[in-house]
């Protein structure tokens, strides 16, 4: 087993998809054009639609966090897999009061919980989401960043984590599984994702949709609210690659992809209105050890089929063909060395 895996994914558009990019620099009658990348083709500058890696990575991260939140259990809920826990303010205070902490440590932990739940988000958020989660941190909360919390810090956070994680150690790691995968501040990322590209086309597959804004009181159109958006056509396929390093399991990423496959969320803007629904499929993948990377020869892979449906390398968008060749070369090299095929 190598310490890195590279996977080629196919993303099929299942409802109109729009990814904007602010000022595009192109002259167009469209108010909100689809983001495009300037490229040179046949010595002429053109623009090709793509899905930025930040859009894909950001969505997968948010859905990974959503999965953790959705599967977290309260202290009152019985679960065979109680790895993910959540507590509202009253439940957290009850856990602290029933713990073996000293009186001073209990006071310190309760103060942390009071300060934590005084954040504006908990004043206006949904009642069922007003919780402290054991394995996902609350973005933007100054008291809830992941990382090591030590006894020497003498903070209520350390005392609270002793209760939550049922640990009595000098250092306690504030766990955030999404941060351990996608990175956060001093936590290095273990995932790299490419832009999403589609195969070059002679005619644009984009369509223009008109939108409006209605004043719900008067029932009339708001002044200047008529605008249009450029959206990708249903059935168009985008491709992207994902490289994971030293990741013991990519189960959380697979769960995030399932949320998209089941239509529970979408890519780009308008996902709350049904736009941006996609299906993501694993086309092919390979493991490799970077120390043995020189043994592969991706340049020797020409027109092999990249997946079980016999899709050829030349059928992929040009920016991803070299990475697809690397996948095939790695698999061929592993098979030649008797290591067996990767199961993707």
CA distances from 318 to 40, 269, 294, 325 (A): 13, 27, 23, 11
Residue 342 lies in a domain: no
Instruction: Find the mean pLDDT for residues 225-238.
Output: 90
Give me the domain span that covers residue 12.
Answer: 4-52+195-244+279-336
Residue 69 lies in a domain: no
332, 301 Cβ separation under 8 angstroms:
yes
**Looking at the structure, do residues 321 and 292 belong to the same domain, yes or no?**
yes
**Do 160 and 82 reside in the same domain of the chain?**
yes
What's the pLDDT band for 293 if we cut at 50, 70, 90? low
Q: Are residues 150 and 235 in the same domain?
A: no
Last residue of a domain, one of 182, 204, 234: 182
Do both 229 and 297 map to the same domain? yes
Contact 157, 132 (CB under 8 A): no
50-109 pLDDT tens trace: 999 999 999 999 999 999 999 999 888 865 555 899 999 999 999 999 999 999 999 999
| β partners of residue 9 | 240, 282
Distance CA 220, CA 225 (A): 11
Is 295 inside any structural domain? yes
**Would the pLDDT of 3 be above 80?**
no
User: Does a structural domain hold residue 273?
Assistant: no
Specify if 190 maps to a domain.
Answer: no
Are 317 and 219 within one domain?
yes
Please indicate, yes or no, whether residues 116 and 40 belong to a single structural domain of this protein: no
Q: Does the structure show a pLDDT above 60 at 343?
A: no
Q: Report the Cα 250 to chain-centroid distance in Å.
A: 12
Question: Using one digit for the tens of pLDDT, what is the confidence trace for 118-158?
Answer: 888 887 777 777 899 999 988 777 778 888 898 887 789 99
How far is it, in rounded angstroms, from Cα 16 to Cα 208?
10
Same domain for 207 and 320? Answer: yes
109 vs 213, residue with greater confidence: 109
Residues 211 and 305 in one domain: yes
Structural domain contains residue 328: yes
46 in the Ramachandran plot: left (φ > 0), alpha (ψ -120 to 50) or beta? beta
What does the alpha-carbon distance between residue 87 and residue 89 come to, in Å, rounded to a whole number? 6
Q: How far apart are the first and last CA of the chain?
A: 12
Q: What is the pLDDT of residues 246-288, one digit of tens each?
A: 877 778 999 999 999 999 999 999 888 899 999 999 999 888 7
- Same structural domain, 286 and 313: yes
305, part of any domain = yes
Note whether residue 140 is domain-resident: yes
Domain count, the chain: 2
CA-wise closest residue to 164 among 236, 224, 235, 109: 109
Above 50 in pLDDT, residue 340? no
Task: Based on the fold, state whether residues 87 and 115 are members of the same structural domain.
Answer: yes
CA distance 135 to 156: 18
**Single residue among 182, 208, 232 that ends a domain in this structure:** 182
Whether residue 83 is found in the same domain as residue 130: yes
Residues 113 and 153 in one domain: yes
DSSP per position, 53-121: HHHHHHHHHHHHHHHHHHH-B-TTS--S-TTSBEE-HHHHHHHHHTSS--HHHHHHHHHHHHHHTTSTH
Answer left, alpha or beta for residue 286, where phi above 0 means left and psi between -120 and 50 means alpha: beta
């Amino acid at each position: 087993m190598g310490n890195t895996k590279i996977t080629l994914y196919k993303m099929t558009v299942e409802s109109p998809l729009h990814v904007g990019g602010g000022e595009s620099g192109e002259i167009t009658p469209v108010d909100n054009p689809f983001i495009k990348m300037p490229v040179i083709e046949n010595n002429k500058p053109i623009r090709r639609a793509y899905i930025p890696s930040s859009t894909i990575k950001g969505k997968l991260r948010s859905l990974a966090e959503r999965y953790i939140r959705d599967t977290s259990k309260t202290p009152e809920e019985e679960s065979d897999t109680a790895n993910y826990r959540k507590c509202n303010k009253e439940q957290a205070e009850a856990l602290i009061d029933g713990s073996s902490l000293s009186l001073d440590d209990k006071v310190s932990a309760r103060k942390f919980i009071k300060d934590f739940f005084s954040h504006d988000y908990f004043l206006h958020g949904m009642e069922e989401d007003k919780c402290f989660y054991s394995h996902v941190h609350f973005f933007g909360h100054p008291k809830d960043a992941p990382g090591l919390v030590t006894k020497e810090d003498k903070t209520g956070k350390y005392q609270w984590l002793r209760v939550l994680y049922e640990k009595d150690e000098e250092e306690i790691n504030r766990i955030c599984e999404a941060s351990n995968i996608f990175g956060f501040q001093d936590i290095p990322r273990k995932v790299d994702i490419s832009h999403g590209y589609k195969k070059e086309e002679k005619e644009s597959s984009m369509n223009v949709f008109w939108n409006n804004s209605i004043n719900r009181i008067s029932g009339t159109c708001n002044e200047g609210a008529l605008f249009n958006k450029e959206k990708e056509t249903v059935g168009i396929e985008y491709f992207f690659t994902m490289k994971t390093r030293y990741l013991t399991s990519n189960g959380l990423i697979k769960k995030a992809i399932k949320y998209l496959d089941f239509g529970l969320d979408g890519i780009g803007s308008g996902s709350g209105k049904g736009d941006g629904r996609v299906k993501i499929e694993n086309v092919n993948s390979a493991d490799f050890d970077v120390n043995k990377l020189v043994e592969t020869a991706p340049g020797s892979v020409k027109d092999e089929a990249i997946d079980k449906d016999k899709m050829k390398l030349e059928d992929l968008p040009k920016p991803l063909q070299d990475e697809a060749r690397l996948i095939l070369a790695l698999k061929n090299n592993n098979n030649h060395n008797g290591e067996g095929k990767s199961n993707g």
